[in-house]
Structure 1
Amino acid sequence: MAIDELGTVPAVWGVMNYLSEESTVLRRFTAPGASINTGLYDSYAVQVYDARAVHRPFTLERNGFELVHRPSRVRDFTDRDELDRVYDAEIEELVRLRLGADRVALLGATLRRAADPAGHDSQPAAGLVHIDFSPEGAAAHAAETYARHFPDGPGYSRAVSTSCWRVFSPPPQDWPLAVCDFRSLSDDEGRPNTLYFVDAIPPDPFGPITGTPRTLSGSEFHYRASHRWYFYPDMTRDELLLFVLHDSDHSRPWRVMHSAFLDAEAQAVTPRHSVEYRTVAYFR
């Protein structure tokens, strides 16, 4: 463990892959069991601090993320039917009550595994510094999602996109998820990229896009030494990391940069396996 100006807060060294200043075309293609980015990336060794050791717990209202003790009735998180039958309602209730929202739309589950993801109907660990929604695309996505989920709804004045991240493989985790304190990220940071959901990775990801794949707009970031990274070591299946992807109210912590990273100090014997739910919460 390393110690620096945060005093007695321990940290591990992790490699964060930031967007290179030389990148021009920013596209991300996601297919079953595979993902590719057209961006160029530079790797930086950064200190990732133990969020459990910080005296004042992190909260959505101050930092944009928090750890929640939330046991689930799900027995097998790789069972998609059980997720639909049990976990959907648990996530909806958690987000609605914690945020005080009037309505919550679920965007579906994504399983991620640090090894052999395709064999488990999963995606690889997301090892690039990013946010799932860009400021440019978040408003349109929230409006489209509301119209699809609540076609007869009365409308909304605020929308908050969140991620609910749970690891269900036993601790310690070889590839934990790191989150960046909102207070260390400037509002002017980030470049938009485009996410394409496809059946197979195209042979030329820089070429013309044919067909009409569903797209989203995310954000990727250049390195700054001021970014402050944290993780929760030894997470259990009874814990859930809740963090903000985009809040239309920018007077609050409105986005959290995040990335998986290899914890070389962890004595993991099982590859990290996790489930994440993205949601959009709406307020009248």
Structure 2
Amino acid sequence: MTLRPAPEYLESITAGLPYTTRRAEKLYFYRYPPPDGVAESNVAIETHETILTNARPVADGYSLDREGYALVRQRSAVRDFWDEAQTLALGHPETAEIVKAATGASRVVVFDHTLRRRSGESDLASAKSRQPVGRAHVDQTVKSGPQRVRDVMGDQAEGLLSRRAAIINLWRPVAHVARDWPLALGDGRSVDPADLLPTDLIFPHRRGETYSLAYNPGQRWSYIPDLGVEECLLIKCWDSDETVTRFAPHTGFADPTTPPGTPPRQSIEFRTLAFFD
């Protein structure tokens, strides 16, 4: 089913965005059953009413190195993202080309993808998909960004890290317009580094790290209403270049203007490493 975009959009909306409460100890999530007596997470979410600017009229001017995100109009050759073989064979190579064209990177490696399908159920909506993330966050940190390069690139990593490297996500709707639970985008220039809270992701055999985001009224947020299947968003998750925007927080959110009966959001995000000469 394809939804027709609404003919008119508001200049901005106000919505409750999910931020993380600051605390003295380091934040964490267990991604498997934690040891006896240990909480699965110590992250507490607090919702703040936040103004989100409708970015659609000016989205063509957005830049990964300035705001930390960009809009690209390109329909995917993939006809069924739930078909893993098709997504790997077509989706990964085209994602690499999109990121190369948008950034000027000399090499792009797609190392992962995640499908999401919103439902009323917790965590997994199906064996294949996960729920939209309801927490303002950045996928990598100053620590985990280089480590991800090492994990993926192995013996090549140190040579690649001697030059500029970045981690960029490509996010696109699947099946229909993303009117339900769209993506909120935080302008990286407006984020105080003190509001980025390092958060451990604890797996059975490794420990990753992301940033959770604390609320600050100085942060600027936007969204692109009715993102279509012929569009995708590029989101900066880490950049070794300290002269540009290095991180762009983002989160799914409940848009109060979404009409009743709108089909639940389906989306896919591809995670890429971008290397520069």
Normalised by the length of structure 1, the TM-score is 0.83
Shift of residue 37, structure 1, vs aligned partner: 4.1
* Aligned mates of 2:192, 2:218 — CA distance in 1: 10
Q: Secondary structure at the match of 1:123?
A: coil
| Contact in 2 for aligned 1:172/1:266 (Cα 8 Å) | no
Aligned position for 1:79: 83
Shift of residue 63, structure 1, vs aligned partner: 1.0
Deviation per CA, 1:109-151: give whole Å up to 9, x if none.
1011221543251111101011010112222222332226x57
Normalised by the length of structure 2, the TM-score is 0.85
CA gap of 1:21–1:63, structure 2 versus 1, over 3 A, is same
Aligned position for 1:259: 251
Equivalences for 1:176-187 in 2 at 5 Å? Answer: 176-187=182-193
CA gap of 1:30–1:70, structure 2 versus 1, over 3 A, is farther
CA gap of 1:190–1:55, structure 2 versus 1, over 3 A, is closer
Shift of residue 253, structure 1, vs aligned partner: 1.1
* Aligned mates of 1:159, 1:129 — CA distance in 2: 24
How well do the aligned residues superpose, as a CA RMSD in angstroms? 2.3
Tell me which amino acid in the other structure corresponds to 1:223: Y
Range 238-247 or range 12-21, more displaced: 12-21
Range 174-183 or range 21-30, more displaced: 21-30
CA gap of 1:168–1:120, structure 2 versus 1, over 3 A, is farther
Q: Aligned to 2:181, which of 163, 170, 175?
A: 175
1:281 has 2:274 as partner: yes
Deviation per CA, 1:70-90: give whole Å up to 9, x if none.
111101111111101110110
Q: Aligned to 2:102, which of 84, 98, 103?
A: 98
CA gap of 1:220–1:154, structure 2 versus 1, over 3 A, is closer
| Contact in 1 for aligned 2:178/2:266 (Cα 8 Å) | no
Gaps in structure 2 of 5+ consecutive residues: 1-8, 33-39
Tell me which amino acid in the other structure corresponds to 1:195: L
1:227 has 2:219 as partner: yes
1:213 has 2:219 as partner: no
Aligned position for 1:200: none
Aligned residues: 258
Q: Aligned to 1:128, which of 132, 135, 139?
A: 135
Q: Secondary structure at the match of 1:24?
A: coil
Q: Secondary structure at the match of 2:125?
A: helix
Gaps in structure 1 of 5+ consecutive residues: 1-7, 198-211
Tell me which amino acid in the other structure corresponds to 1:226: G
Range 235-244 or range 89-98, more displaced: 89-98
1:119 has 2:111 as partner: no
CA gap of 1:23–1:112, structure 2 versus 1, over 3 A, is farther
Identity value in percent: 28
Aligned position for 2:240: 248
* Aligned mates of 1:224, 1:48 — CA distance in 2: 14
Range 72-81 or range 110-119, more displaced: 110-119
Tell me which amino acid in the other structure corresponds to 1:92: A
Deviation per CA, 1:146-190: give whole Å up to 9, x if none.
226x57977641110011000114235210011101121123431
Tell me which amino acid in the other structure corresponds to 2:100: R
1:140 has 2:140 as partner: no
Aligned position for 1:237: 229
* Aligned mates of 1:29, 1:260 — CA distance in 2: 21
Deviation per CA, 1:228-266: give whole Å up to 9, x if none.
111111111110000110100010111101111001211
Tell me which amino acid in the other structure corresponds to 1:28: F
Deviation per CA, 1:33-67: give whole Å up to 9, x if none.
xxx64311211111111111348721223211111
| Contact in 2 for aligned 1:156/1:282 (Cα 8 Å) | no
Q: Secondary structure at the match of 2:61?
A: coil
CA gap of 1:23–1:126, structure 2 versus 1, over 3 A, is farther
* Aligned mates of 2:44, 2:30 — CA distance in 1: 14
CA gap of 1:37–1:177, structure 2 versus 1, over 3 A, is farther
1:70 has 2:42 as partner: no
Tell me which amino acid in the other structure corresponds to 1:233: P
CA gap of 1:192–1:152, structure 2 versus 1, over 3 A, is closer
Shift of residue 16, structure 1, vs aligned partner: 1.3
CA gap of 1:53–1:74, structure 2 versus 1, over 3 A, is same
* Aligned mates of 2:226, 2:196 — CA distance in 1: 30
